Amino acid sequence: MQRILHSINALNEAKQVIPGGVNSPVRAFGSVGGTPRFIKEGRGAYIVDEDNNCYIDFVQSYGPLILGHSDSLVVQAVQDSVAKGLSYGAPTELETNLAKEIISVCEGVEKIRFVNSGTEATMSAIRLARAFSGKDDIIKFEGCYHGHSDSLLVKSGSGLATFGETSSKGVIQDIAKHTLVARYNDLDSVKECIRLSGNVGCIIIEPIAGNMGLVPSKKDFLQGLRELCDKENIVLIIDEVMSGFRVSLQGSYAFYGVKGDLSTYGKVIGGGMPLAAFGGRADIMDMLSPIGGVYQAGTLSGNPVAVSAGLATLALIKQDVGLYERLESLANRLAEGLMSAAKTYNIPLQTCVRGSMMGFFFTQEEVIDWNSAAKSDTEFYAKFHAKMLEKGVNFAPSQFETSFMCKPFNETIIDEVIEKARASFKELKA
Ligand SMILES: Cc1ncc(COP(=O)(O)O)c(C=O)c1O
């Protein structure tokens, strides 16, 4: 048995002063049970908890760490930046440099502004989209997550395409009623929302959804959405907070050839530091304060330390020709290995790979949207998660998250994980 006494005590202590003992709910292991591990360090493919247990880490901070934990050059860039100052509240050339880096590879991004979290990026992009379109209602998709701003904490009501209902206490219905919820990969449901509202100014989508497990949009769906937005004068926000610089250097564009009017970024662009951004067409972005009338600001926005981490991360990604192909091939190796192990024990499993993202669902049916994802056997996932953790493999503590490959992974590590999964399936089916 693994010793986790330190984590158990740390959680109890944290609970006295932090609600649930965590600063973001999924970390509490609510949907899988068991004790969240308190982590003391991360190195490459691995994290180490306070009891000195070591885990192969597929969470990678929920996506940012494409280079793995504590990449020495990123750490060096952060240290160099820290030595000069932590924050100035004034512009730096670093910000212009990072803006240029992103604009040079991200299709459709002509101007960009930095913020501190993906939540801020999507919230600000929506405000801007509403101002540009002059229309109040927005559409989001069931199962997509865009952070926790009020307009986006909605779920579908009854029926296929609906006005949203709040999915969190404290979000007032007066706000939720302006968000309509459509079904992912279903263009008809989007058309129905547009008809129902008559006042839709913005659609926001994860082009490769990673927050209901990994569920990529179908090509004709995303392209159809683009055409629909053009026809209806709707601002399309492509939320690449997770997929940006994760699935390819150009994010989802490399898979779909679809540009947003606005796009949002986070995670990888900060290399593990709190940094996110929204950008897009110059005519829309120039509506932002101080040029235009859409207010948006931040004390620590474009923080030099975070931007330095981002610059180093993007430079290292660019230098490593073949990185995305290598990570995708490792993700495929893992998916195939899990499939084969599951087959041996008659366990229904669906897998999916996009670039360095890998998802798996314990279900018989192909997963194309939230309805099909929700049919997964979450109890089995919880048991599998616990077994793997015991064996030193850290998958996310929810069936509806994605696994992330990182640069330090190799075939030996992936094969070790597959063998551990095989052993876990065997134990669970005994
Ligand atoms: C697609 C997407 N958008 C937005 C967010 C919110 O980002 P943050 O957690 O940095 O606020 C997330 C977070 O997981 C995300 O995956």
Is the Cβ atom of 424 under 6 angstroms away from ligand 1?
no
Q: Give the pLDDT score at 1.
A: 84
Ligand 1 mean position to 325 CA, how many Å? 24
Amino acid residing at 207? P
Is the Cβ atom of 206 under 6 angstroms away from ligand 1?
yes
Give the count of beta carbons closer than 10 Å to the beta carbon of residue 304: 20
Q: Give the pLDDT score at 159.
A: 62
28 vs 166: CA distance, rounded Å = 23
- pLDDT tens by residue, 262-276: 999 999 999 999 999
Q: CB-based contacts of 322: which residues, under 8 Å, 6+ apart?
A: none
Q: Whose C-alpha lies nearest to ligand 1, atom 16?
A: 242
Global pTM value: 0.98
Cα 332 to Cα 48, 200, 246, 352, 411: the distances in Å are 26, 39, 15, 8, 11
Q: Give the pLDDT score at 430.
A: 86
Tell me the sheet residues that pair with 209. 215
Is the Cβ atom of 122 under 6 angstroms away from ligand 1?
yes
Q: What SS3 state is found at 204? A: strand
Peptide bond into 36 cis (omega under 30): no
Is the Cβ atom of 241 under 6 angstroms away from ligand 1?
yes
Q: Give the pLDDT score at 162.
A: 73
Cα 379 to Cα 26, 181, 191, 279: the distances in Å are 16, 27, 36, 40
Residue 332 burial by CB count (10 A; 0-12/13-18/19+): exposed, middle or buried?
middle
Q: Give the pLDDT score at 160.
A: 59
Ligand 1 mean position to 415 CA, how many Å? 30
Asked if 152 contacts 296 with a C-beta cutoff of 8 angstroms, the reply is no
Ligand 1 mean position to 118 CA, how many Å? 5
DSSP 21: G
Q: Which residues in 367-418 belong to E strands, given as ranges? A: 393-394, 403-404
Q: Give the pLDDT score at 101.
A: 98
Asked if 102 contacts 277 with a C-beta cutoff of 8 angstroms, the reply is yes
Q: Closest ligand 1 atom, CA of 267?
A: 10
Q: Closest ligand 1 atom, CA of 122?
A: 4
Q: Closest ligand 1 atom, CA of 209?
A: 1
Pick from 192, 264, 194, 190: nearest CA to 222:
190
Ligand 1 mean position to 3 CA, how many Å? 33
Is the Cβ atom of 64 under 6 angstroms away from ligand 1?
no
Quick one: three-class SS letters along 290-307?
CCCCECCCCCCCCCHHHH
> How would DSSP label each residue in 213-269?
SSEEPPHHHHHHHHHHHHHHT-EEEEE-TTTBTTTBTTTTHHHH----SEEEE-GGG
Active site residues: 145, 239, 267
By residue count, the chain amounts to 430
Is the Cβ atom of 243 under 6 angstroms away from ligand 1?
no
Mutate to test the pocket of ligand 1, among 24, 59, 119 (most ligand atoms within 8 A of CB): 119
Is the Cβ atom of 240 under 6 angstroms away from ligand 1?
no
Q: HSE-up of 310 (CA within 13 Å, CB side)?
A: 31
Largest CA distance in the chain: 66
Ligand 1 mean position to 416 CA, how many Å? 30
Is the Cβ atom of 399 under 6 angstroms away from ligand 1?
no
Question: Which residue positions in the chain have pLDDT lower than 50?
Answer: none
Task: Compute φ and ψ for 280, nearest 5 degrees.
Answer: 160, -150
